[in-house]
């Protein structure tokens, strides 16, 4: 008489353990059986099945399938949004002190003295990032300027940079 109920509880436990979705299993079994008496044994069985499943495999069946497809799921939801956004979506070009690679060193000195900034970004002729000049790196040269000095002589090119097409998660 209860064989069918035991089978349904076992089926629900396996489904909940594999998918890591116990509430779904409770709702699914109640919808299938319309029997309230099955809920308590089902919930107890799901608790045990959930503990066993978590011990054996920390990821659900769905998460494993997504990882096999190459979807990065190692972080929370907030971080997943970062994979959907591109650097270009949040990048702004205004509000930074910039000079072109062809600018004279005196222009750089003026920029530091009058704009009260700690760094100036160096752009090429097309407006793309070329390097960075930090105030601390040129303080000595500002006191004793050399007329032959170019911005390319003092800029730092090893600053990590991003391209507009990269995922924001790379930043």
Which pLDDT tens digit goes with each residue over 143-168? 777 777 778 778 877 777 778 888 88
For residue 75, pLDDT beyond 70: no
Backbone angles phi, psi at 125, to 5 degrees: -60, -25
For residue 170, pLDDT beyond 80: no
pLDDT reported for residue 44: 95
What's the alpha-carbon Rg for the chain, to the nearest Å?
A: 31
The whole-angstrom separation of Cα 25 and Cα 75 is 25
Share of the chain above pLDDT 90, in %: 19
pLDDT reported for residue 42: 92
For residue 32, pLDDT beyond 80: yes
Contact at 8 Å (CB) between 60 and 19?
A: yes
For residue 169, pLDDT beyond 90: no
Strand locations in the chain (E): 98-100, 119-123, 129-134
pLDDT reported for residue 12: 92
Residue 76 confidence class, pLDDT cut points 50, 70, 90: low
User: The pTM is what?
Assistant: 0.48
For residue 13, pLDDT beyond 90: yes
Average pLDDT over residues 91-114: 83
Handedness of CA 75, 77, 78, 83 (dihedral sign): positive
Residue 113 confidence class, pLDDT cut points 50, 70, 90: confident
The whole-angstrom separation of Cα 109 and Cα 105 is 6
């Amino acid at each position: 008489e209860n064989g069918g109920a035991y089978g349904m509880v076992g089926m629900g436990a396996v489904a909940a353990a594999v998918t890591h979705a116990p509430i779904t299993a409770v709702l699914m079994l109640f919808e299938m059986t319309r029997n309230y008496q099955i809920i308590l044994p089902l919930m107890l069985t799901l608790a045990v099945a959930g503990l066993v499943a978590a011990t054996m495999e920390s990821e659900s069946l769905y998460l494993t399938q997504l990882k096999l497809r190459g979807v990065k799921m190692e972080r929370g939801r907030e971080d997943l949004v970062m994979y959907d956004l591109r650097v270009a979506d949040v990048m702004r070009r205004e509000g930074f002190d910039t000079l072109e690679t062809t600018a004279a060193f005196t222009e750089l000195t003026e920029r530091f003295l009058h704009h009260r900034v700690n760094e100036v970004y160096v752009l090429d002729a097309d407006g793309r990032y070329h390097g960075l000049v930090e105030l601390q790196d040129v303080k000595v040269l500002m006191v004793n300027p050399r007329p032959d000095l170019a911005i390319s002589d003092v800029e730092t090119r090893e600053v990590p940079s991003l391209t507009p097409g990269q995922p924001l998660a790379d930043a």
